[in-house]
Amino acid sequence: MALWQKFVFIVAGYWLVFIISQLPRCEHLKEYIGKKKQGKEQFKNCFRGRMRYFWVTLILITLCLAPLLTYFEKIPFFMDVEDAGMDWLMRTTQQNMPPAQIKNIPQFVWLDIDDETYKQWGEPLFTPRDRLLKLIKGGVLAEARLIIVDIDLSRTISGNGNKLHLHDKDIVDYLGKYPIYCNSHPHCPPIILARRFAVLSGGIETQYRKVFPELEQVVEESAYHIQWAAPLFSLSDDYVLRHWKVWQPFCVDGKPAVMASIEVTAGVFLKKDTPQQVKKILAEKLQPLQPHACINDKIQYSHNTPEQIKLGQWNFSTDRYSIPQRIRYSMPWSMEGKKTAEFLWKTRKGQTEGEFIILRRLPVQQFLEQQNALQKGLKDSIVIIGGSYAEGRDHYQTPLGLMPGALVIINAVHSLLEYGIIKPISNLSKWLIVVILVVLMSIILLCVPFILGQFFNLLVVLVMLLSSIILFRFGYWLDFTIPIVFAQLYQIIIFLSLFVYCLALSFWQWGYKKLRFFMDHA
């Protein structure tokens, strides 16, 4: 059930209870809550006589129940409501990003293997290694800041006998000489290769997919100028990709190991001076997250996992489905303008004249044909090599709709660099908000006519929405859905309790009159 459907359901139920309460037998309810009087007298009557004791009781009960909200958030219903609220907020604020120059965020350039490029290449089973090598060389020669290769290199192209295919050999030779190249070229970009994992029964990726030994060796000997990283994300129960995986545990040759995700590896690379510093940070910080053991290629986890882990300048939560693990999507996928050389999701006025393009999409075939002209635009940028062609089946549902895997990685890296970790407000703040909302909406329920009360309820919702949007822009998450739903349910419970009280009292009086009548005529 969608969030708006739940809201309509709650309001409709509240309205039905209100109509029932107007029945003749419910005069006691109207007298109790002061509905008989109108205007100012009706409002004043809510705080006189017996109602004073009701408000004291209400506040005490609310103060006792508010802390339970922390536990309610773990219930699937409330988790779905919270996810729907944040998804809506992302769709509302998409493409509304702060200028990238403020935090010195590099430009993203996506070298996209689109449908047109894939058809011109003859729809190959594997991404042609010779063309992939040209793309990597283009980013290196242009002195990109970082190169991310979102292409599966675990399988080699079929060759003669046990020999590598010529194109695979060319990639291995180039990457093998890359550390030497970096020694003489201090601005050489680090290269992150997406490491694939085998999917076992149950849909859990725990097995390290073997890579042909020659490529494995050159990565191992690259002095961390070339690094494997996990391109995996955590799917929600509704198969929407909302959370990143900070790390990926796996088994290799019966031994437990752990690998950082692409977005975390990219973030640490961009914040540290040398690849050796990055290697040291990831090796030390990920050690506590390494599985305890591997039995029949199944991971055995340790019970001593820390609640947080610091990688670079970020404190990541180890709860994969918590708010701090959410990706803040800003750039949606659109099919418009796919034939243009520059596909702009968002432009910002820079500190210098002209526009700063936060993301440029270059179709690969067009880039290869005009490499000399377009290669200059890759300087100091984060280059992502990945495909959006349909046959690649690398598309995922996100809060902003269907999106290619390469664009998911772009959003994840941008989310980390621009916004960092989303920080939920403190539990004490949540409790205070719930207490204020419950008391405020109870006053609206008991002291304000129904139509006017719904207007005030809507006004409270709008205030919560605006507060959430403002705080979300600064990296804080104020869940506007759960407190409102909690207060609305509490409001209905109050009304139902009074309604049951009214019916019970009416039936008691009716039964008492019948009994007196029977006894008088016996």
Residue type, 133: L
CA distance 511 to 42: 31
Q: What is the CA radius of gyration of the chain?
A: 30
As beta bridge partners, residue 398 has: 401
| Highest mean predicted confidence (pLDDT) among 144-148, 195-199, 342-346, 466-470 | 144-148
User: pLDDT tens, 283-323?
Assistant: 888 888 888 777 766 777 666 777 888 887 888 888 877 88
CA distance 79 to 320: 13
Copy the structure tokens of residue 399: 């809060």
Range of the domain at 49: 3-72+425-520
To the question of pTM greater than 0.85 for the whole model, the response is: no
User: pLDDT tens, 251-278?
Assistant: 777 778 888 899 999 988 888 778 888 8
Examine residue 122 and state whether it is found in any structural domain, yes or no: yes
- Other Cβ atoms within 10 Å of 27 Cβ, number: 15
Question: In the structure, what pLDDT confidence band is assigned to residue 226 with cuts at 50, 70 and 90?
Answer: very high
Query: Can you state the angle between helices 50-65 and 481-520, rounded to 10 degrees?
Result: 140
3-state secondary structure of 211: coil
- Listed residue (157, 106, 105, 107) closest to 127, CA to CA: 157
Query: Could you tell me what percentage of the chain is helix, strand and coil, using 3-state DSSP and rounding each to the nearest 5?
Result: 50, 15, 30
Residue 391 has pLDDT above 80, yes or no: yes
The number of distinct structural domains making up the chain is 2
Asked whether the beta carbons of 367 and 109 are under 8 A apart, the reply is no
What's residue 100's pLDDT?
Answer: 58
Residue 506 has pLDDT above 80, yes or no: no
Residue 146 has pLDDT above 90, yes or no: yes
- Listed residue (47, 1, 79, 126) closest to 319, CA to CA: 79
CA distance 467 to 470: 5
Q: Are residues 412 and 431 in the same domain?
A: no
Asked whether the beta carbons of 410 and 358 are under 8 A apart, the reply is no
Q: Are residues 384 and 297 in the same domain?
A: yes
- Other Cβ atoms within 10 Å of 510 Cβ, number: 11
Examine residue 82 and state whether it is found in any structural domain, yes or no: no
What's residue 36's pLDDT?
Answer: 43
Region 351-358: what's the mean pLDDT?
Answer: 56
CA distance 401 to 94: 12
Q: Are residues 132 and 258 in the same domain?
A: yes
Q: Which of 418, 434, 460 is the last residue of a domain?
A: 418
Copy the structure tokens of residue 142: 């242009």
Q: Are residues 102 and 14 in the same domain?
A: no
Q: Which of 353, 384, 418 is the last residue of a domain?
A: 418
3-state secondary structure of 335: coil
What's residue 348's pLDDT?
Answer: 41
Region 364-376: what's the mean pLDDT?
Answer: 85
Q: Are residues 145 and 248 in the same domain?
A: yes
Q: Which of 369, 398, 418 is the last residue of a domain?
A: 418
Copy the structure tokens of residue 348: 């910002």
Asked whether the beta carbons of 165 and 212 are under 8 A apart, the reply is no
